[in-house]
Structure 1
Amino acid sequence: MKLGLQLGYWQAGPPTNHAELVAAAEESGYDAIFTAEAWGSDAFTPLAWWGRETSRVRLGTSIVQMSGRTPTSIAMHALTLDHLSNGRLILGMGVSGPQVVEGWYGQPFSKPLARTREVVDIIRQVLARKGPVTNDGPHYPLPFNGPGAMGLGKPLKPITHPLREDIPIWLGAEGPKNVAQTAEIADGWIPIFYTPKSAGMYQPWLDEGFARPGARRTRETFEIAATCHLQFTEDDGPAKQAVVDAMKPIVALYMGGMGAKEMNFHHQVFTRMGYGETADEVQRLFLSGQKDEATRLIPDDLVNDMHIIGTEGYVKERVAQWEETGVTTLLLSAHSADEIRKVAEVLA
């Protein structure tokens, strides 16, 4: 199993230590660095900036929000960055949610699976450069002949020849249909709440996708990049408990505070994981402003399943369990270069 450094997205201002984190990941044998985006900083620019300081690590987006750019625009970003990095790009994409898609990007969120399929197909056409790029689908028609069109749209193929036709495309997916489609059309999957206990839930969904006619990958060639918080503690008692407790507000936020009450995909995942009653109450409390009360409902077992926290021996055992479930890359955040080096040393 490979290690990936998750740099995430910026908060109120640019981070001040990402240069040293990226350097440590490169030196310590990490396979890749990943950047994200929400409604502030973008995912591509930091990779271009920090990628120039590296020569080996792969550069991944985890994830690019598909509604923020047209499919051909995403393909242009990917084509350009893949050239600049000498073939190290991983293009991770996802649909986000209706609050962001419709509230920030001003685009419709309906039919996310169909939209994803069209986006992936158009990007692959651009990267293949076999001919002018066209699309008959209703969501991203090329050329566009809808309302307001002048009727002069011309199918085009990229001026620049892509470095790689097969830039890996990984998709963020949470629900059964989305996960199955990801296994069918993508090269990898970026789950947000994949854990050793929940892994069995996802396997039939993945198998359904792999079994579809024309599926791009098999289970053996498909990548799963799971995100978790990994932290060493002096003991598996009070020191570990303090870290577990510190993680609970974040879990409560995703369980109860993300998205709308009527449509919170993260809440749905926790429900499928067997925490339905807890998730409902956490959501009720969180959305009513009672965040501390919501946080107190988060079970220790859930945090310990989602993250890897404990002594070096415990961490090694847990990492092995994640790997046994099919995880090919563990995406980890870090606060310092020393943390990155220690993880690499312990797991070497």
Structure 2
Amino acid sequence: MKLGYHLGYWSSGPPADALEVIRTAEELGFDSVWTAEGYGSDALTPLAWWGAATSRVKLGTNIVQMSARTPTAVGMTAQTLDHLSGGRFILGLGASGPQVVEGWYGQPYPRPLARTREYIDIVRKVVARKEPVTYDGDFFQLPLHGGTGLGKPLKSTLHPLREEIPIYLAAEGPKNVALSAEICDGWLPLFFSPKSDGFYRAALAEGFARPGARRTPGEFEVAASVPVIVHEDVEAAAALIKPSLALYIGGMGAKTVNFHHDVFARMGYEDVADKVQDLYLAGRKAEATAAIPTSLVEDTALIGPPEKIRDELARWEETVVTTLLLRGDAATLRAVAPILS
């Protein structure tokens, strides 16, 4: 498996050591560097700013939220970053969830899979620049229906460096995972576990089997964000990850719609996920964190002494994952790289 570095999105401000870590990742031979966005820092500006200090590593977004920008705007940005990086850009897209889509962006959330299909169709048309872009979909129309009547089909003035830029889709549910295999070049899972490999293989296989599927399994990339903490005390390492898991399981979504909660329920932790969610939504965050067993952390992360991590890595190497996306500072990357290489 290849290694990547996931910078993620910022908390209250930009991480002071981001440039050092990205340069370290490239120095260590990492394949890719990724950024993210929630409802604070965006994914594209940091990638361009810090990515300018690199020369080899691929630069990806994990993820750009589709509701934040029109598909033509994303196509323009993808072309621009691809030129600036010399053809190293990977466009990672995701639908996010209704709380962010409707609460932050003021956009409708229903039918996210159908909306995603149209969105990616348009992005590819913009990047390819074969002809003026027209589209007559349920969600997007170019030119716009019912406007002034003055809109006309346009073609990007920018000539593409590559007529096809890789597009990866962030997905957690089986239908969305299948969609990634059908229309994209890669999948960006969150909270992947080797225990769930069979479930995701089946979802991907469904997508690959659809007429007109874009890639074969051997051509398809799966870049999974996996926490890795080298520590002699497994419980201490798990304790560093549990607060983040409590946030996602308990608070990243509504009571009735939380895709992260559903991932862990499918993994066999439904009772735990329900308890964590109830506690978190009641404001009892410390108790929610304490309710997460270390076994759940170990199912979705690589933690503990180096020899333990090496042994457990074998399970990951047998999965659909092609790239492990790591988090941490420069020292963490230097410590982890020899273990995972």
TM score, norm. by length of structure 1: 0.96
Query: CA offset at residue 138 of structure 1?
Result: 1.4
Q: Which amino acid aligns with 2:80?
A: T
Residues of 1 paired with 2:145 and 2:64: CA distance? Answer: 27
Unaligned runs of 5+ in 1: none
Deviations 1:183-220 (A, max 9, x none): 10000000101111111111111100000000001111
Matched, 1:189 2:183: no
Q: Which amino acid aligns with 2:6?
A: Q
Residues of 1 paired with 2:208 and 2:5: CA distance? Answer: 28
Q: Which amino acid aligns with 2:218?
A: E
2:165 maps to which residue?
167
Query: CA offset at residue 171 of structure 1?
Result: 0.4
Query: CA offset at residue 319 of structure 1?
Result: 2.2
Q: Which amino acid aligns with 2:167?
A: I
Q: Which amino acid aligns with 2:142?
A: L
1:47 maps to which residue?
47
Question: Secondary structure at 1:197's aligned position in 2?
Answer: helix
Pair 68,50 (structure 1): closer, same or farther in 2 beyond 3 Å: same
Q: RMSD over aligned Cα, in angstroms? A: 1.1
- Cα contact 2:306–2:339 (8 A) shared by 1: yes
Query: CA offset at residue 91 of structure 1?
Result: 0.4
Question: Secondary structure at 2:91's aligned position in 1?
Answer: strand
Query: CA offset at residue 4 of structure 1?
Result: 0.6
Residues of 1 paired with 2:236 and 2:306: CA distance? Answer: 17
Residues of 1 paired with 2:52 and 2:240: CA distance? Answer: 35
Q: Which amino acid aligns with 1:152?
A: L
- Cα contact 2:201–2:320 (8 A) shared by 1: no
1:135 maps to which residue?
135
Aligned residues: 341
Map 1:98-247 to 2 at 5 A.
98-146=98-146, 149-234=147-232, 239-247=233-241
Question: Secondary structure at 1:220's aligned position in 2?
Answer: helix
2:296 maps to which residue?
302
Percent identity between the two aligned chains: 60
Question: Secondary structure at 1:123's aligned position in 2?
Answer: helix
Query: CA offset at residue 276 of structure 1?
Result: 1.4
Deviations 1:206-255 (A, max 9, x none): 10000000000111111001111101123xxxx11111123222111111
Unaligned runs of 5+ in 2: none
- Cα contact 1:182–1:189 (8 A) shared by 2: yes
Q: Which amino acid aligns with 1:306?
A: T
Query: CA offset at residue 285 of structure 1?
Result: 1.2
Q: Which amino acid aligns with 2:210?
A: R
Residues of 1 paired with 2:235 and 2:271: CA distance? Answer: 24
Question: Secondary structure at 1:226's aligned position in 2?
Answer: strand
Residues of 1 paired with 2:324 and 2:54: CA distance? Answer: 20
- Cα contact 1:145–1:153 (8 A) shared by 2: no
Map 1:31-70 to 2 at 5 A.
31-70=31-70
TM score, norm. by length of structure 2: 0.98
Query: CA offset at residue 62 of structure 1?
Result: 0.4
Residues of 2 paired with 1:77 and 1:317: CA distance? Answer: 41
Q: Which amino acid aligns with 2:225?
A: T
